[in-house]
């Protein structure tokens, strides 16, 4: 039997706090009964919630701290000495100390990334970690990165993202050579910024652990043409927020259309099963969780406004990444890429 997976939770993070975090942990535990939890937060707030779930309580340890990071705090404020005793920092530090295999937080994104970079440090040769998100498509799920960790990226950093995204796709989708695409304003090789075109050249030149599809456009994001789509954080975050907003917009259109008249209401009852399937497919809670790639440890960022169902999805994602040794695979692939890059520079 495999060893239990140890999961560290920032129990004070997110809009709903401990109730959402502990409720999500209980949901995930039913799917992964070998999990063990470390809950970092105010014991007075955590104990009543944990007592609602006797099975989870048996698998959980509460580490008390009454310091938490507020959602509106700047990363610099969150990194002050007192915040080193916050639930967020302590949850990350548990991964650094080897007490936990993965950390999940629904707290302040900027603070979480800043703390994770300082506490865990980056993998050798990586200077800018990325946030990778799962993306539903008409064919299968894809991975998109970076969706907000950094603004801008040069060619070498974009290839770093491609290598890291490939490692995540291999761990998550069991694909030895994932298919990678670079997000661009067109599919023609002459289009796009120099950094994107130079990244494409590097990918074609070097021996990398994935298959290169080429450039993909914004309207390809939902088509499932590739396993991983690579972009820099500014455009990636805009794409993510646009997709989320469009999903809510389409949902509103459908609801309005199907309740407009008594005939459409009857039709909606007849098609209720299909609408439920569509609702499940478009529910962002099923895809909740951004993976911080490029760190010496696993950190998963949950959406701050999610509920227990959404937080459970983030825990499930962390479970899969830790179980499949994502950090080890990613580190090896990054080392190989930069060794190949160095060899090419010496030959030129």
* Domain parsing of the chain, residue ranges: 1-126+294-324, 127-292
pLDDT of residue 347: 59
Residue with more model confidence, 249 or 56:
56
User: Smallest Cα–Cα separation from 258: which of 249, 270, 244?
Assistant: 270
pLDDT at 106 > cutoff 80: yes
pLDDT of residue 83: 77
Domains 1-126+294-324 and 127-292 alike in fold: yes
Q: Are 215 and 188 in contact (CB under 8 A)?
A: yes
pLDDT at 327 > cutoff 70: yes
What mean pLDDT comes out for the span 82-91? 88
pLDDT at 346 > cutoff 60: no
pLDDT at 19 > cutoff 90: yes
pLDDT at 18 > cutoff 70: yes
Of 92-101, 162-171, 185-194, least confident by mean pLDDT is 185-194
pLDDT of residue 345: 59
User: Smallest Cα–Cα separation from 23: which of 324, 302, 348?
Assistant: 302
pLDDT of residue 280: 67
Per the omega criterion (within 30 degrees of 0), is the bond before 146 cis?
Answer: yes
Report the topology of domain 127-292: Isopropylmalate Dehydrogenase (3.40.718)
pLDDT at 252 > cutoff 90: no
pLDDT of residue 1: 38
**pLDDT tens for residues 128-182?**
899 999 888 888 889 999 898 888 899 999 999 999 999 999 988 888 899 999 9
pLDDT of residue 81: 67
User: What single-letter DSSP state applies at residue 2?
Assistant: P
pLDDT at 220 > cutoff 60: yes
Which whole-number Å values give the CA distances from 61 to 22, 45, 98, 107, 179, in the listed order?
A: 12, 14, 15, 20, 41
d(C-alpha 229, C-alpha 252), whole Å:
28
Within its chain, how far is the Cα of 173 from the centroid?
15
What mean pLDDT comes out for the span 116-131? 91
d(C-alpha 130, C-alpha 145), whole Å:
6
pLDDT of residue 269: 78
**pLDDT tens for residues 279-305?**
666 666 777 889 999 999 999 999 888
Contacts of 297 (CB under 8 A, 6+ apart): 92, 95, 96, 103, 116, 120, 327
Tokens of 303: 């959406």
Q: How confident is the model at residue 5 (pLDDT cuts 50, 70, 90)?
A: very high
Within its chain, how far is the Cα of 3 from the centroid?
24
pLDDT of residue 150: 85
Secondary structure class of 324 (helix, strand, coil)? coil
Tokens of 310: 């959404």
Instruction: Give me the sheet containing 102-105, strands edge to edge.
Output: 60-64, 36-41, 6-10, 102-105, 299-301, 290-293, 130-135, 142-145, 228-230, 179-183, 211-216
Kindly report the CATH number that applies to the domain delimited by 1-126+294-324.
3.40.718.10
d(C-alpha 215, C-alpha 148), whole Å:
20
User: Smallest Cα–Cα separation from 242: which of 284, 279, 293?
Assistant: 284
């Amino acid at each position: 039997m495999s060893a239990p997976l140890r999961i560290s939770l920032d129990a004070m993070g997110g809009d709903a706090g401990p109730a959402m975090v502990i409720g999500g942990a209980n949901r995930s535990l039913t799917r992964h009964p070998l999990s063990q939890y470390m809950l970092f937060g105010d014991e007075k707030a955590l104990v009543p919630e944990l007592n609602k779930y006797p099975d989870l309580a048996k698998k959980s340890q509460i580490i008390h701290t009454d310091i938490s990071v507020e959602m509106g705090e700047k990363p610099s404020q969150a990194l002050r000495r007192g915040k080193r005793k916050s639930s967020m920092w302590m949850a990350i530090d548990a991964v650094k100390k080897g007490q936990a295999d993965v950390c999940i937080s629904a707290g302040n994104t900027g603070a979480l990334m800043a703390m994770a970079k300082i506490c865990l440090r980056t993998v050798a040769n990586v200077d800018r970690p990325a946030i990778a998100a799962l993306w539903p498509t008409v064919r299968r799920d894809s991975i998109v990165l970076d969706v907000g960790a950094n603004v801008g990226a040069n060619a070498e950093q974009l290839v770093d993202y491609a290598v890291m995204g490939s490692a995540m796709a291999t761990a998550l989708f069991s694909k030895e050579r994932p298919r990678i695409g670079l997000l661009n304003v067109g599919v023609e090789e002459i289009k796009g910024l120099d950094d994107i075109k130079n990244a494409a050249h590097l990918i074609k030149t070097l021996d990398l652990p994935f298959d290169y599809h080429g450039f993909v456009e914004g309207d390809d994001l939902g088509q499932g043409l590739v396993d991983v789509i690579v972009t820099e954080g500014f455009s990636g975050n805009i794409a993510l927020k646009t997709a989320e907003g469009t999903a809510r917009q389409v949902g509103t259109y459908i609801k309005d259309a199907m309740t407009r008249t008594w005939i459409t209401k009857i039709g909606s009852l007849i098609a209720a099963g299909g609408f439920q399937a569509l609702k499940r497919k478009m529910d962002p809670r099923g895809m909740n969780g951004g993976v911080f790639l490029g760190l010496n440890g696993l950190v998963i960022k949950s959406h701050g406004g999610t509920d227990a169902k959404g937080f459970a999805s983030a825990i499930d994602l962390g479970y899969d990444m830790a179980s499949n040794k994502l950090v080890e695979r990613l580190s090896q692939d990054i080392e190989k890429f930069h060794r190949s890059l160095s060899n090419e520079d010496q030959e030129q």
